[in-house]
Amino acid sequence: MSKPTESSRQYKYYDFVLVAFVVVLLCSNLIGPAKIAQVDLPLVGLVTFGAGVLFFPISYLFGDIMTEVYGFKRDRRAVWAGFGALAFASLMALVVVNLPPAPFWADRQDAIETVFGNTWRIVLASLIAFWCGSFANSVVLAKMKISTQGRWLWSRTIGSTLVGEFIDSALFYTIAFWGIMTTEQLITVTLTQYILKTSWEVLATPLTYWIVRRLKQAEQEDYFDKDTRFTPFSVKV
């Protein structure tokens, strides 16, 4: 019997990780933006943020896990799945919001528009920022894994997130709010979100270590992208 090729190999848990990634991504982009929260932190004071920032970084955690265990190409496949899901959810929200409400539902239309009625700039910003940030995160982690010879997992999960989240935050707030916020406000909001997201990743490092270790053992896989062509424009594995 011939040995399975890289593209034909079947994994026990990859599909579950991919689905979890897409679910977190959709929820953090659809439910999270519906509320702006404010908390009073010791030594920091009042911090205002979109509620989705608490959960969106989990998608980067899953991205790190997929690249670390299964390699860039399988994470790339997950990113495209997430992009497609976000695009469809945005289209569905646009259609649902703009459908004429039934007379007995008319008094609820404002609430529907508030929760799901994102402008085209917000939708475009979300899609572009996610796509660019996620791929940057995966490429950095994969290349760092080779350069560190698989050691110091913490350095590449945190390092890749610093790069990916910076690109994500900078692109999203610039595309979504340029001309609406002042430059100073734009920089402040972007840096605040960036710090919150990357801090989450640092705190989640022990959890990332545990999941990665268990998956590597279960899948008998620890992929190194030594001959990988790092193009985002493919879904092949």
Query: Residue 213 has what DSSP assignment?
Result: H
Q: What are the tokens at 172?
A: 């999203």
The pLDDT of residue 33 is 67
Which residue type does 96 have? V
Note the pLDDT tens digit of each residue in 177-195: 888 888 898 898 889 889 8
Q: 14-219: what fold?
A: Arp2/3 complex 21 kDa subunit ARPC3 (1.10.1760)
The pTM score is: 0.90
Yes or no: say if 30 and 93 are a contact pair by the CB < 8 Å rule: yes
Yes or no: say if 223 and 70 are a contact pair by the CB < 8 Å rule: yes
The pLDDT of residue 141 is 97
The pLDDT of residue 28 is 86
Q: What are the tokens at 214?
A: 């268990």
Q: Show the beta-strand stretches assigned E in 36-138.
A: 36-41, 45-50
Note the pLDDT tens digit of each residue in 52-91: 788 888 999 999 999 999 999 999 999 999 999 999 999 9
Residue 1 has pLDDT above 70, yes or no: no
CA distance 84 to 79: 9
Percent with pLDDT over 70 in the chain: 96
Yes or no: say if 65 and 212 are a contact pair by the CB < 8 Å rule: yes
Mean pLDDT of 144-164: 96
The mean pLDDT of the chain is: 90
First to last CA, the chain: 22
- The residues that bridge with 41 in the sheet, in sequence order, are 45
